[in-house]
Amino acid sequence: MQLSNTDIVVFAIYVLTLIAVAWWVSRDKGGVQKDTQEYFLAGRNLPWWAVGASLIAANISAEQIIGMSGSGYAIGLAIASYEWMAAITLLIVGKYFLPVFIKREIYTMPQFLEQRFDGRLRTIMAIFWLGVYVFVNLTSVLWLGALAINTVTGIDMVNGMILLGLFSVVYSLYGGLKAVALTDIMQVVVLVFGGLILTGITLNIIAEDSGIIAGFQLLQERAPEKFDMILAKGHPHYISLPGLSVLIGGMWIMNLSYWGFNQYIIQRTLAAKSLKEGQAGIAFAAYLKLLMPLIVVVPGIVAVILAPDLARPDQAYPTMMQLMPVGIKGLVFAALVAAIVSSLSSMTNSVATIFTMDVYRSINSGLSQSQEVKVGRIVSLVSLIIAMICAKPLLGNFEQAFQYIQEFTGFFTPGIVAIFFLGIFWKSATPLAALVAAIGSAVFSLGFKLLWPELPFIDRVGLVFVLCILIPVLVVSLQKSQPQANAVDLNDVDFSTSTNFNIASVGVVLVLCALYAVWW
């Protein structure tokens, strides 16, 4: 089904407004060119609302909206655990990890690893993250975004990826993180508003115009198997979401790695005006995460009733978009594209940051800041082009792209979390111990995958994490290491949080307890 002229006008107004706002906030004031702090960290001057909005805008993209809706169609509400458990993870990051990173005044996660361990680990992890962002994250966002555009408008996949890439470049390449973050509040408003409208209209269709609440009640009655939050061992998708492991197992490691040590996410908090502003932004993002399953998972479950014969689960959300009235479809389409281009811009900016600050600077230390910004812009563009070329070969044959992404990243996240845990909280951890954890994560994960294939990957992540802690401890013991000179002095870090942050944290916990109590 094609977009009507009215839908196209609504979408065009959104695009032009976003570009205008981005260029306005990106302008060079007084003829002064952007330096590296301005381009990569928005001058470390982001207010809490921009931090929170940008965290969600960077996170919610095609892989969430299209991929998670597809998993909602195939699995049900249980997939929402990724969103709801992330809310608590965000608060943990704000309380225990962000204070350390802010204190160190870092630009990137590899930079912290060099400060704490050595340059060898910084280079290894920088190259690793560059590979993941380009060949996993960017490709998935481009491919799933193009799939959505193809379903709604009929534009072929290649042209869809090109349009998304061009849109991202036009509004973010010049301004850097500041352009991305300060327009993300607009992106999130459109995303949330458009997503809630789609959910409301589709639920009302199920209820035959009897209202949203009636539609949700009917949905639970007609698809009760989709409302089990904790899957039993005999469930066909148990291997993807293995029972209580989503609450007490490897999902914590997945979430901590993503929200705490993932450059294109944590970069927003590093750009906050202060630690307190960053923590307030994180609390804001936590509440938005509680809302996300209503926007991205429920439409996938609704599709079970309204479109039960889809060829692929990832077609669920685009198919629901086709049911929207004229004009509303344009707004919902704008919301989807908002999520896609915001994530693309966030990822390319982080690729540019890591490459420029952790790789290029180490071999060209004499560059001026304006030259480093130029390098960053070139890298952003090149990373998009590479991802476009690789998207179809890497993702074209997967039915549930969201689950594929989680499975792949699960090979490395145990080691990443172990390295940061050891580096922050154990003064005796050595560079060799950290390197063993990094290599061991991939080796152990691959070993379990080949030798114990029936082990759910979330359980594998938890088990590998334990090994990535124990073996480095053994290495340190064999080295008879003493506290390292570059260890983090936790006594010098302010872990206190404001009353508002504490109240917000309690609120998140209570909401989550209520949600799991209802749909256990």
CATH architecture assigned to 5-73+119-246+292-399: Up-down Bundle (1.20)
Tell me how far CA of residue 108 lies from CA of 104, 225, 370, in angstroms: 11, 43, 19
404 pLDDT tier (thresholds 50, 70, 90)? low
Residues 408-433 have a mean pLDDT of 92
What pLDDT is stored for residue 403 in this prediction? Answer: 57
- Per residue in 325-348, pLDDT (tens digit) is 888 888 888 888 888 888 888 899
What is the signed CA dihedral for 41, 47, 48, 51, rounded to 10 degrees?
A: -30
CA distance 84 to 297: 12
What pLDDT is stored for residue 493 in this prediction? Answer: 93
What pLDDT is stored for residue 92 in this prediction? Answer: 97
Q: What is the CA radius of gyration of the chain?
A: 22
Assess contact for 15 and 167: CB atoms under 8 A.
yes
Structure tokens at 293: 């399953």
What pLDDT is stored for residue 364 in this prediction? Answer: 81
Q: Coil, strand, or helix at residue 236?
A: coil
- Per residue in 445-493, pLDDT (tens digit) is 999 999 999 898 889 999 999 999 999 999 999 998 889 999 999 999 9
What pLDDT is stored for residue 465 in this prediction? Answer: 97
- Per residue in 496-519, pLDDT (tens digit) is 999 999 999 999 999 999 999 988
**Pick from 29-38, 56-65, 168-177, 180-189: least confident:** 29-38
Is residue 400 pLDDT above 60, yes or no?
no
Dihedral of CA 177/184/112/501: which sign? positive
Is residue 23 pLDDT above 90, yes or no?
no
Highest mean pLDDT among 175-184, 232-241, 394-403: 232-241
What pLDDT is stored for residue 363 in this prediction? Answer: 84
Beta partners for residue 46, in sequence order? 272
Query: Phi and psi dihedrals of 334, rounded to 5?
Result: -60, -40
Q: Coil, strand, or helix at residue 46?
A: strand
Domain regions of the chain by residue span: 5-73+119-246+292-399
Helix/strand/coil percent split, the chain, to 5? 80, 0, 20
Secondary structure element (H or E) that encloses residue 453, with its range: none
- Per residue in 211-241, pLDDT (tens digit) is 999 999 999 999 999 998 999 888 888 988 8
| Of residues 326, 184, 323, the one with CA closest to residue 267 | 184
Longest dimension (CA), the chain: 72
**Pick from 59-63, 220-224, 377-381: least confident:** 59-63
What pLDDT is stored for residue 394 in this prediction? Answer: 75
CA distance 391 to 373: 27
Assess contact for 253 and 27: CB atoms under 8 A.
no
Structure tokens at 327: 């004009």
Assess contact for 319 and 309: CB atoms under 8 A.
no
What pLDDT is stored for residue 215 in this prediction? Answer: 94
| Of residues 7, 3, 61, 133, the one with CA closest to residue 402 | 61
| Of residues 39, 45, 106, the one with CA closest to residue 271 | 45
Tell me how far CA of residue 255 lies from CA of 88, 259, 458, 502, in angstroms: 9, 6, 11, 21
First to last CA, the chain: 38
Is residue 172 pLDDT above 80, yes or no?
no
Q: How many beta carbons lie within 10 A of that of residue 404, not counting itself?
A: 18
Assess contact for 252 and 85: CB atoms under 8 A.
yes
- Per residue in 71-117, pLDDT (tens digit) is 899 999 999 998 999 999 999 999 999 999 999 999 999 999 999 99
What pLDDT is stored for residue 512 in this prediction? Answer: 94
Highest mean pLDDT among 143-152, 172-181, 311-320, 379-388: 379-388
Assess contact for 60 and 194: CB atoms under 8 A.
no
Assess contact for 349 and 177: CB atoms under 8 A.
yes
What pLDDT is stored for residue 398 in this prediction? Answer: 58
Is residue 1 pLDDT above 70, yes or no?
no
Eight-state DSSP code of residue 31: G
Tell me how far CA of residue 32 lies from CA of 236, 272, 495, in angstroms: 59, 22, 37
Report the half-sphere exposure of 132 (CA within 13 A, side-chain side).
22
Phi-psi region of 208 (alpha: psi -120 to 50; beta: other; left: phi over 0): left
401 pLDDT tier (thresholds 50, 70, 90)? low
What pLDDT is stored for residue 474 in this prediction? Answer: 96
CA distance 368 to 174: 17
CA distance 322 to 153: 10
Burial state string for 92-119 with b = 16 or more CB within 10 A and e = fewer than 16: bbbbbbbbbbbeeebbbbbbbbbebbbe
What pLDDT is stored for residue 386 in this prediction? Answer: 95
What pLDDT is stored for residue 146 in this prediction? Answer: 87
CA distance 198 to 306: 13
Q: How large a percentage of the chain has pLDDT more than 90?
A: 53
Eight-state DSSP code of residue 481: P
Residues 409-415 have a mean pLDDT of 87
Mean pLDDT of the chain: 89
Residues 9-35 have a mean pLDDT of 79
CA distance 185 to 285: 11
CA distance 520 to 232: 11
Is residue 420 pLDDT above 80, yes or no?
yes
- Per residue in 180-207, pLDDT (tens digit) is 887 888 888 888 888 899 999 999 999 9
- Per residue in 126-156, pLDDT (tens digit) is 998 999 899 888 988 888 788 778 877 888 8
Beta partners for residue 272, in sequence order? 46
CA distance 85 to 81: 6
85 or 395: which carries more pLDDT confidence? 85
Residue with tokens 């909005």: 53
402 pLDDT tier (thresholds 50, 70, 90)? low
What pLDDT is stored for residue 57 in this prediction? Answer: 87
Q: Which residue type sits at 32? A: V
